């Protein structure tokens, strides 16, 4: 019984971290794809916004999502889409994008790179080696 009591909190916390990580990855992929779809359907540019200072992300004009403190996020975007700690990926009505990538890294060093192709606007998910 003592062993279960000692191990359960650590296992629960690890499970929670894993859930937060997967939620964040799914949320960012969804927001990126939604921005592309919005641009194509409306005929106007749409922005995926990533605020590294406030640790938030989302589609411009929609509710922002928080980035859990246990995750590290790095991004590479076009110079024209960076304003201080706020980084944008712009999607165009043609389906193209300004391009860029967002790395989501766990405390263990493992993670994923969300890559947006500038020519097609396609969003891909690639594993990062720890």
- Mean pLDDT of the region 64-78: 96
CATH code for residues 2-128: 3.55.40.10
**Domain-by-domain residue ranges, the chain?**
2-128
Query: CB of 86 within 8 A of CB of 117?
Result: no
Q: Is 49 helix (H, G, I), strand (E, B) or coil?
A: strand
Of the pLDDT bands very low, low, confident and very high (cuts 50, 70, 90), residue 2 is low
Structure token pair of residue 14 = 């690890």
Q: Which pTM does this prediction carry?
A: 0.88
């Amino acid at each position: 019984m003592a062993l279960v009591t000692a191990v359960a909190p650590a296992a629960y916390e690890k499970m929670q971290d894993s859930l937060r990580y997967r939620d964040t990855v799914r949320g960012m992929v969804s927001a990126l794809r939604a921005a592309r779809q919005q641009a194509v359907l409306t005929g106007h540019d749409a922005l995926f916004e990533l605020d590294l200072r406030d640790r938030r992300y989302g589609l411009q004009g929609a509710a922002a999502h928080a980035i859990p403190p246990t995750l590290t996020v790095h991004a590479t975007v076009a110079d024209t889409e960076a304003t201080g700690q706020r980084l944008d990926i712009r999607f165009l009505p043609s389906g193209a994008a300004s391009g860029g990538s967002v790395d989501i890294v766990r405390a263990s060093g493992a993670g994923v790179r969300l890559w947006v192709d500038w020519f097609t606007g396609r969003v891909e998910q690639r594993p990062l080696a720890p």
